[in-house]
Amino acid sequence: MFDIDGTLVQSNKFDSECYIQAVYEVLGIQIDNDWAKYAHVTDSGILDEIVKQNGINKRSMGIPLEVKKCFIRRVREHLVDNPAQEVPGAALFVAKLNEMNNVVVSIATGGWYESAKLKLDSAGIDIQNIPVASSDDHYCRTEIMKIAQKRAVGNSLGTNTYFGDGVWDEKASHELGYNFIKVGENDQQNKCIVDYGRPNIAIRHIGL
């Protein structure tokens, strides 16, 4: 199971900028971009918290939909002149796993589905026939991961591995009892990979 931003696609910077700009355009609020401060680090979870903190009636104003539409528009416009780049080796690694008989691949992202698909397509990562769960399904990352698992394997039992880059990814993985592989940097506390340029290391971390 994979996160997207910072895990499959090098999109953390522009994704954050587009989100901050969309919230400001719709609500006129300059938000804190220290995402770790939010209870649920997902597009819908962060927005819910912002709305509640500022006493805004989100239902009567249709705010979630307006922010989402603005954000997706900004992501799409950004990608026209600045195509997204994969985390090196990501597309081939996902394809390799997807061809293995003893592996089922899924994606669980804290982003909204439409923006996630835009970034993956731009980066050349094919997710055809790969189950995806997103912030459209739930505001809580662990619930998104559970939904992705259900869509991928139903009630089948097996080991679960999550590739992510954020502290929230690690926390959610530990809560669910998933094997966690950190992407993007080396540290002494986790199984980790800088990228997918040495796929055998990632496969060994999975336990295959």
Q: How far is C-alpha 177 from the geometric centre of its chain's CA atoms? A: 19
Backbone angles phi, psi at 186, to 5 degrees: -100, 135
Structure tokens at 119: 């970034």
Mean pLDDT for the stretch of residues 101-115: 96
pLDDT at 146: 97
Answering whether pTM is above 0.75, one says yes
% pLDDT > 90, the chain: 82
Which range (22-26, 59-63, 130-134, 179-183) has the least confidence? 59-63
Q: Which amino acid is at 149?
A: Q
Mean pLDDT for the stretch of residues 28-38: 90
Task: State the burial class of residue 19 (Cβ atoms within 10 Å of its Cβ: 0-12, 13-18, 19+).
Answer: buried
- 108 sits in which H/E element: strand 107-108
Contact 49, 39 (CB under 8 A): yes
- Confidence category of residue 32, pLDDT binned at 50, 70, 90: confident
pLDDT at 156: 83
- Confidence category of residue 5, pLDDT binned at 50, 70, 90: very high
Mean pLDDT for the stretch of residues 23-48: 93
**Residue keyed to tokens 């609500």:** 27
Mean pLDDT for the stretch of residues 171-191: 88
Structure tokens at 139: 């505001």
Mean residue pLDDT across the chain = 93
pLDDT at 59: 60
pLDDT at 185: 76
Q: What is the pLDDT of residues 51-99, one digit of tens each?
A: 988 888 756 568 889 999 999 999 999 999 999 999 999 999 999 999 9
Mean pLDDT for the stretch of residues 170-194: 89
Q: What is the pLDDT of residues 143-180, one digit of tens each?
A: 999 999 999 999 887 899 999 999 999 999 999 999 99
% pLDDT > 70, the chain: 96
